[in-house]
Amino acid sequence: MEVTFKVYRKDPEKDGKPGRSNYTVEVPDGATVLEALLKIRDEMDSSLAFRCSCLRGHCGDCMVRVNGSSRLTCTAKVSAYTQKGPEISLDPLRNVPVIKDLVFDWDAFMWNKIRATKPWLDASETAADGESIIPDAPLQDLRKVMSCYNCGMCDEGCSVLPVDFDFLGPAALTKAYRFVFDPKEKDHKERMKVLEGPKGVWDCVHCYEADEHCPRGIEPTKRIIAIRDEAFRAGITNEKVARHHQSFAASVKESGWLDEGRLAVESEGLTNISGLMKLLPTAAKAMVRGKAPIPYMHSKRPGAEQIKRIFEKGEAEKK
Amino acid sequence: MKYAFYPGCVSKGGCPELFPSSVKVADKLNIEIEEMKDVACTGAGVLPQYLSDPINARTLAKAEKLGLPMMTICSTCQGVLAQANYRLTSDPEYRAKINKEYLAEEGLEYKGTTDVKHLLWVLFEDYGIDRLKSLIRRPLTGLKVSPFYGCFLRRPPEAITPTKESNARKSYLDQIIGIVGAELADISGKGKCCGFPILSANEENSLAMVAKHTGESKEKGADFMVTPCPLCHLNLDGNQSRAEAQTGQEINLPILHLPQFVGLALGFDPEEMNLKRHIVSTKTVETKVEMLT
């Protein structure tokens, strides 16, 4: 079949301005997008830059956006993208620095962030015979995470990275999970400080886009949530988040449901005058529109005592 | 058709316009609801799973005892309850542990039979779209509307779209816009996060998301946005002016709750749907709707 590929182009050695080249090629019915790209480079335009390595969906090196969606070109079939017409657009990932054409900066996109999470084990002391034998059960879960081949699809799907490229992102945070929950890790206080710091786990919106994008079923969002739950259990070190979570938990524990007025004020901090002032315009509007009751009231739910009992038991069990 | 109704904290707290308009719409549609008053907040994805699963198991057990399926009006409540329900029904050992350690003392046991559905799903899967269409008294002709689902109503698949048929849930809100006679102003971020979960942790990012979604909707010519999630509403409506100030954009896009939107098509007046309680003025919507009657 004959297909026209509309490929994003950018050459820093020329003017560096983004543009697009159209290539019409004949490819076999079962061809992959990568095979088409290789044909274009070999037969039509040797200046076209793109990445590939394993050619069988294992290394993640060839990820680009095919008709707008992130795909590994080595496994994406051309025929899957020509149903609306014989044209396919190819672009680099969103929100990443492009080096040339479809080649983007992997360091900025992912590797620097993984490095920031200290991706090595602070192992406990080894036994006298030099071996640390650990049970298989906890490792089964970690093996799933270790099967990540760093394709970056989770980061591509992330809701936060398009508004904040410095967010560590699901790929790096999932790598961190592998160490936080490794039974060999002696003490993860230092690692948790990094993960709970700016641009870390608390900036995640837990929208599950990463899980939907992961081709390996590693479920990065659930890994991030597990790190957050572990932080909650051990005591959240990020002060603002701690205030928010403590206030949320306290109002559910004490009354059975959420006291939003209290949450807004306590999240800012009772002594944080500028933070509290910031809430005033919206609070005033809410009052004028009848959104906030005057005087402000929050009463206990029926059943609150049972909810409190369950809460206290859950807290005690995790201590 | 009767449901154990779980209204969620926000429909009576930060979005007090949502609860009464939902009750009016359910009544008009002849959907019988029994409000669950003695159950806890779901935890909204803020509480850790080891606290939220037991309190949600209690809620699910109470609905089971009533012999009713549950109906929610909040994407976040729906998502958190459905995720807890998935864990409790797919892992009988885990359920038995929660029953024994947390529910038994109150004489409760969750057997794993409660179905939890958002009003949006109820309309399509239980109520029937033809029946809904037959009750439309004011087709919202000429109004352009953007959908915004709330991410917990889209994912994760094992809890939200567990079967091939249930994949249709990802387009229900788009469909309902056409069903009530309005025009779809589609936006790329309709299934993404509104930013509300990180409003406290990273306000700048949260407001950037508000500006991104509402700004795109405005660019597409939408008269307003409709959402089945009051937490999205709190951010998209309540914090829109702060998002405008942060990005220097002028947006001014009204945000309607799903029941208000359906209610207007059923013939309720904007006043009856409490549109005046919103932070972003809904005057333009009210004027257009009143011209239709």
CB contact under 8 A, B38 and A301: yes
CB contact under 8 A, A204 and B198: yes
Which candidate in B12, B202, B210 is best for mutational testing of the A interface (most A CBs within 10 A)?
Answer: B202
CB A298 within 8 A of CB A255: yes
User: Which of A206, A252, A313 comes nearest B40 by C-beta?
Assistant: A252
Burial B256-275 (b: 16+ CB within 10 A, else e): bbbbbbbbbbbebebeebbb
The distance of A34 to chain B (nearest Cα, Å) reads 27
Helix (H, G, I), strand (E, B) or coil at B111: coil
Measured between alpha carbons, how far is B36 from B274 in angstroms, rounded to an integer? 23
Using the Cα atoms of residue A77, residue A79, residue A80 and residue A85 in order, give the sign of their dihedral. Answer: positive
CB A147 within 8 A of CB A218: yes
CB contact under 8 A, B102 and A221: no
Measured between alpha carbons, how far is A101 from A10 in angstroms, rounded to an integer? 5
Does A255 contact B at CB distance below 8 Å?
Answer: no
Q: Which two tokens stand for residue A55?
A: 């050619």
Find where tokens 């999970």 sit.
A177
pLDDT of residue A57: 87
Q: In chain A, positions 91-120, which contact chain B (CB-CB < 8 Å)? A: none
Average pLDDT over residues B105-122: 98
Residue with more model confidence, B214 or A182: B214
Q: What are phi and psi of A257, to 5 degrees?
A: -145, 175
Domains and CATH numbers, chain A: 2-104 (3.10.20.30), 106-122+135-234 (1.10.1060.10), 239-318 (no CATH)
Average pLDDT over residues A11-33: 94
User: Which of B17, B37, B198 comes nearest A301 by C-beta?
Assistant: B37
pLDDT of residue A15: 86
Mention every residue, 6+ apart, whose C-beta is less than 8 A from residue B253. Answer: B214, B217, B218, B222, B224, B225, B236, B240, B280
Provide the percentage of residues in chain A whose pLDDT is more than 70.
99
Q: In chain B, positions 146-165, which contact chain A (CB-CB < 8 Å)? A: 151, 154-157
CB contact under 8 A, A162 and B212: yes
pLDDT digits (tens, 9 = 90+) for A108-157: 999 999 999 999 987 776 777 777 778 888 889 999 999 998 888 899 89
CB A96 within 8 A of CB A168: no
CB contact under 8 A, A307 and B241: no
CB contact under 8 A, B276 and A289: yes
Q: In chain B, what residues touch A202 (CB-CB under 8 Å)?
A: 198, 201-202
Measured between alpha carbons, how far is B251 from B218 in angstroms, rounded to an integer? 7
What is the interface pTM, i.e. ipTM, of the complex?
0.95
CB A48 within 8 A of CB A21: yes
Sheet of A2-9: strands edge to edge? A19-26, A2-9, A87-91, A63-66, A69-72
Strand partners, B226: B147, B256
Q: How confident is the model at residue B293 (pLDDT cuts 50, 70, 90)?
A: confident
Q: In chain A, what residues touch B209 (CB-CB under 8 Å)?
A: 159, 163, 205
Find where tokens 């396919």 sit.
A88
pLDDT of residue B92: 98
Provide the percentage of residues in chain A whose pLDDT is more than 90.
69
Size of interface A-B (CB pairs under 8 A): 159
Q: How confident is the model at residue B79 (pLDDT cuts 50, 70, 90)?
A: very high
Does B276 contact A at CB distance below 8 Å?
Answer: yes
pLDDT of A78 above 90: yes
Cis peptide before B156 (omega within 30 of 0): yes
CB contact under 8 A, B155 and A209: yes
What letter does residue B154 receive in the DSSP assignment?
A: T
Average pLDDT over residues B125-148: 98
CB B89 within 8 A of CB B95: yes
pLDDT of residue A228: 97
Q: Residue B117: name the closest of B197, B1, B3 by CA.
A: B3
pLDDT of residue A70: 87
pLDDT of residue A319: 76
CB contact under 8 A, A244 and B10: no
Q: How confident is the model at residue A189 (pLDDT cuts 50, 70, 90)?
A: confident
pLDDT digits (tens, 9 = 90+) for B47-76: 999 999 999 999 999 999 999 999 999 999
pLDDT of residue B101: 97
Segment (H or E) for B78: helix B75-90
What letter does residue B128 receive in the DSSP assignment?
A: -
Q: Which two tokens stand for residue A191?
A: 């690692």
CB contact under 8 A, A221 and B156: yes
pLDDT of residue A151: 86
Q: Which amino acid is at B50?
A: Y
Does A242 contact B at CB distance below 8 Å?
Answer: no
Q: How far is CA B238 from CA A262, A283, B3, B115, B134, in A?
A: 17, 9, 30, 32, 34
Q: Which two tokens stand for residue B284?
A: 């333009």
What letter does residue A110 receive in the DSSP assignment?
A: I
CB contact under 8 A, A289 and B54: no
C-alpha B35 chain-centroid distance: 16
User: Which of B102, B105, B279 comes nearest A282 by C-beta?
Assistant: B279
Measured between alpha carbons, how far is A214 from A71 in angstroms, rounded to an integer? 11
Measured between alpha carbons, how far is A118 from B162 in angstroms, rounded to an integer? 37
pLDDT of residue A278: 79
CB B76 within 8 A of CB B152: yes
Find where tokens 């009210």 sit.
B286
pLDDT of residue A215: 87
Q: Residue B178: name the closest of B229, B141, B123, B132 by CA.
A: B141
pLDDT-wise least confident of A93-97, B92-96, B108-112: A93-97
Measured between alpha carbons, how far is B260 from B20 in angstroms, rounded to an integer? 10
pLDDT of residue A122: 78
Q: Which amino acid is at A145?
A: V
pLDDT of B116 above 90: yes
Measured between alpha carbons, how far is B227 from B193 in angstroms, rounded to an integer? 12
Which candidate in A209, A237, A245, A306 is best for mutational testing of the B interface (most B CBs within 10 A)?
Answer: A306
CB contact under 8 A, B205 and A162: no
Pairing of strands A87-91, A63-66: antiparallel
Q: Give Dmax over CA atoms of chain A in angstroms.
A: 76
Q: Which amino acid is at A108?
A: A
pLDDT of A59 above 90: no
Does A207 contact B at CB distance below 8 Å?
Answer: yes
Which candidate in B6, B12, B37, B41 is best for mutational testing of the A interface (most A CBs within 10 A)?
Answer: B41
pLDDT of residue A130: 75
Q: Residue B245: name the closest of B207, B218, B193 by CA.
A: B207
Does A233 contact B at CB distance below 8 Å?
Answer: yes
Q: What is the number of other CB atoms lying within 10 angstroms of the CB of residue A235?
A: 9
Q: How far is CA B282 from CA A118, B16, B237, in A?
A: 50, 16, 10
Measured between alpha carbons, how far is A10 from A6 in angstroms, rounded to an integer? 13
When the pLDDT of each residue in chain B is averaged and rounded to a whole number, the result is 97
pLDDT digits (tens, 9 = 90+) for B8-46: 999 999 999 999 999 999 999 999 999 999 999 999 999
Q: In chain B, what residues touch A205 (CB-CB under 8 Å)?
A: 151, 193, 195, 197-198, 209
pLDDT of residue A132: 76
